[in-house]
């Protein structure tokens, strides 16, 4: 017997139930929102191909499709004002705060000013989705020493967000490019942040709490934080002739190449394909886009060589980076822009979860000591 540790524990019970680290391959929900077909590189929102939605839809129409199931390309969604209490909070945040932290805080504070009741509704979803861009734009201006800009209710969400961010209307090409990004970012099945949102709302907590939790989950570099790191990675490589050596060295050291790999996709991410087209067609594309394309070729070759048993292809974040840069966002705004877009999907999942609710409570295999006595005092 050890006086500090108590009695020598009995052996812990042997638990042979199947365990899937990271819940990989575990089915934890039914959804009618998106089909993420990883083998064939297909993404459908309520049956419609993502490529078609990018070409013929707008974010306003996509939000309506996700929340109601109806396809109406004329639907618009304008941004809404930041209530004074939330603006006061945004004004007190340090200018150095990460935009994701500012957005998470603003959404949480906004929720405290609203009467958000159970069950979650499309009206609540619309209110959160329309408020969040105004809050992010206000924070971005305040940290630059500028006054926030009121929403223009005649503008669709992306157009309105850029107006509130920059204080002037963006050109049609810029609006179109960011809108395409918002369309591809809107929904993606049971990804980590959406799962977090469903877990929270399944306790019959409110929609705002679930969105706040989802923003926290999206912030990490393995999920929504990747595109800003893509930019750093491309700048580190610097020129096409350095790509081969840089990529090999990084992969040999176990560094994860940002913008590559996916839990579900074994084929090329269709969102990356759609955004590559958008990036290439932009007037204001970043001057490193060609370099990014040549690094991608090398990375795909090296990853295939190093991981012959796990197909690691380009993911959405790789080409999100040049699109977001091209529309004038700074890299630290990229994850928050992703959050604005994904709010449509989160809130649609929250409504779906609540409609057939069951508390989400998985189990764990216990690996600690067996039963034992407390040390003698
Ligand atoms: N670069 C180098 N090696 C990689 C990468 C990568 N980007 N991704 C996975 N691997 C390797 C990994 O090291 C592991 O190798 P080993 O078996 O030898 O240890 C193997 O591939 C399997 O990786 P995993 O971490 O078990 O796979 P996962 O499904 O848990 O990870 C991922 C998915 C997205 C977290 C991962 O691919 C990654 O870290 N990618 C880089 C970050 C990134 O681009 N994130 C954006 C994801 S797309 C946006 C979204 O939909 O959320």
Residue 46 has a CB neighbour count (10 Å cut-off) of 18
The pLDDT tens digits for 356-376 are 999 999 999 999 999 999 999
What is the atom index within ligand 1 of the atom nearest the CA of 251? 2
Furthest C-alpha separation in the chain: 76
- Identify which of 256, 266, 277 has the alpha carbon closest to the alpha carbon of residue 319: 277
DSSP-assigned states of every residue in 157-168: HHHHHHHHHHSS
Task: Look at residue 1 in the predicted model and tell me its pLDDT.
Answer: 47
Task: Look at residue 8 in the predicted model and tell me its pLDDT.
Answer: 73
**Ligand 1: which residues within 6 Å by Cβ?**
22, 188, 191, 222-223, 226, 251, 256-263, 307, 310, 312, 315-317
Summarize the confidence of residues 332-356 as an average pLDDT: 97
- Contact present, 163 and 328 (Cβ < 8 Å): no
Task: Look at residue 13 in the predicted model and tell me its pLDDT.
Answer: 76
- Contact present, 59 and 158 (Cβ < 8 Å): yes
Q: Which two tokens stand for residue 231?
A: 């930019």
pLDDT mean across residues, the chain: 95
Helix, strand, or coil (residue 228): helix
The pLDDT tens digits for 118-162 are 999 999 999 999 999 999 999 999 999 999 999 999 999 999 999
- Identify which of 143, 130, 89 has the alpha carbon closest to the alpha carbon of residue 112: 89
Domains of the chain listed by start with CATH number: 43-221+340-355 (1.10.580.10), 226-326 (1.10.230.10)
pLDDT at 17 over 70: yes
Residue 194 CA to ligand 1 centre (angstroms):
18
Among candidate residues 229, 296, 317, 352, the one labeled active-site is: 317
The pLDDT tens digits for 24-45 are 999 999 999 999 999 999 999 9
Q: What are phi and psi of 6, to 5 degrees?
A: 80, -165
Task: Look at residue 221 in the predicted model and tell me its pLDDT.
Answer: 84
Residue 90 CA to ligand 1 centre (angstroms):
35
Report the C-alpha gap between 2 and 261 in whole angstroms: 48
pLDDT at 222 over 90: no
Summarize the confidence of residues 106-127 as an average pLDDT: 96
**Sheet strands (E) in the chain:** 34-37, 42-45, 48-49
Probe target for ligand 1 pocket from 256, 257, 261, 318, with the most ligand atoms within 8 Å of CB: 261
Contacts of 343 (CB under 8 A, 6+ apart): 125, 128, 129, 132, 211
CA-closest residue to ligand 1 atom 34: 262
pLDDT at 2 over 60: no
What is the atom index within ligand 1 of the atom nearest the CA of 315? 48
Is 373 an active-site residue?
no
Using pLDDT thresholds of 50, 70 and 90, give the confidence band for residue 338. Answer: very high
Is 317 an active-site residue?
yes
> Do strands 48-49 and 42-45 pair parallel, antiparallel, or not at all (unpaired)?
antiparallel
Q: What is the pTM of this model?
A: 0.93
Report the C-alpha gap between 131 and 110 in whole angstroms: 9
CA-closest residue to ligand 1 atom 40: 261
Residue 259 CA to ligand 1 centre (angstroms):
9
Report the C-alpha gap between 249 and 136 in whole angstroms: 38
What is the atom index within ligand 1 of the atom nearest the CA of 24? 29
Summarize the confidence of residues 110-117 as an average pLDDT: 94
Lowest mean pLDDT among 12-16, 84-88, 129-133: 12-16
Cα 151 vs. chain centroid, distance in angstroms?
24
Task: Look at residue 342 in the predicted model and tell me its pLDDT.
Answer: 98
Probe target for ligand 1 pocket from 221, 256, 258, 339, with the most ligand atoms within 8 Å of CB: 256
CA-closest residue to ligand 1 atom 22: 310
Residue 177 CA to ligand 1 centre (angstroms):
27
DSSP-assigned states of every residue in 233-285: HHHHH-SHHHHHHHHHHHHHTTPPPTTB--SS-SSPPHHHHHHHHHHHH-TT-
Residue 146 CA to ligand 1 centre (angstroms):
39
Helix, strand, or coil (residue 35): strand
Among candidate residues 262, 296, 349, 352, the one labeled active-site is: 262
Q: Based on C-alpha coordinates, what's the Rg of the chain? A: 23
Q: Which two tokens stand for residue 43?
A: 């993404």
Report the C-alpha gap between 48 and 71 in whole angstroms: 10
pLDDT at 192 over 90: yes
Task: Look at residue 311 in the predicted model and tell me its pLDDT.
Answer: 94
CA-closest residue to ligand 1 atom 46: 223
Summarize the confidence of residues 88-106 as an average pLDDT: 98
């Amino acid at each position: 017997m050890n006086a500090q540790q108590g009695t020598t524990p009995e052996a812990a019970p042997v638990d042979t139930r199947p365990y899937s680290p990271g819940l990989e391959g575990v089915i934890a929900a039914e959804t009618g929102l998106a089909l993420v077909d990883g083998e064939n590189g297909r993404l459908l929102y309520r049956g419609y191909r993502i490529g078609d939605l990018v070409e013929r839809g707008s974010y306003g129409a996509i939000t309506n499709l996700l929340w109601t199931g109806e396809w109406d390309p004329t639907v618009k969604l304008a941004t809404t004002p930041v209530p004074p209490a939330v603006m006061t909070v945004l004004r007190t945040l340090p200018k150095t705060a990460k935009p994701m932290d500012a957005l998470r805080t603003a959404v949480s504070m906004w929720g405290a000013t609203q009467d958000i009741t159970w069950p979650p509704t499309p009206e609540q979803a619309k209110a959160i989705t329309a408020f969040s861009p105004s809050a992010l734009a206000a924070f971005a201006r305040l940290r630059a020493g500028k006054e926030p800009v009121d929403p223009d209710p005649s503008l669709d969400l992306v157009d309105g967000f850029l107006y509130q961010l920059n204080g002037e209307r963006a050109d049609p090409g810029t609006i179109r490019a960011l809108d395409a990004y918002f369309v591809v970012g809107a929904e993606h099945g049971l990804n980590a942040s959406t799962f977090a949102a469903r877990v929270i709302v399944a306790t019959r907590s409110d929609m705002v709490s679930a969105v706040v939790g989802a923003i926290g989950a999206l912030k990490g570099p393995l999920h929504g934080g990747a595109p800003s790191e893509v930019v750093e990675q491309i700048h580190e490589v610097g020129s096409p002739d350095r790509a081969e050596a840089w990529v090999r060295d990084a992969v040999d050291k176990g560094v994860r190449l940002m913008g590559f790999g996916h839990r579900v996709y074994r084929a090329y991410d269709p969102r990356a394909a759609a955004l590559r087209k958008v990036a290439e067609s932009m007037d204001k594309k970043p001057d490193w886009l060609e370099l990014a394309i040549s690094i991608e070729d090398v990375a795909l070759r090296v990853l295939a060589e190093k991981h012959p048993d796990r197909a690691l292809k380009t993911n959405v974040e790789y080409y999100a980076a040049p699109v977001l840069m091209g529309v004038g966002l700074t890299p630290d705004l990229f994850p928050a822009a992703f959050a604005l877009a994904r709010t449509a999907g989160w809130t649609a999942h929250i409504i779906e979860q609540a409609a057939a609710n069951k508390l989400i409570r998985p189990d764990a295999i216990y690996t600690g000591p067996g039963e034992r006595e407390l040390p003698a005092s």
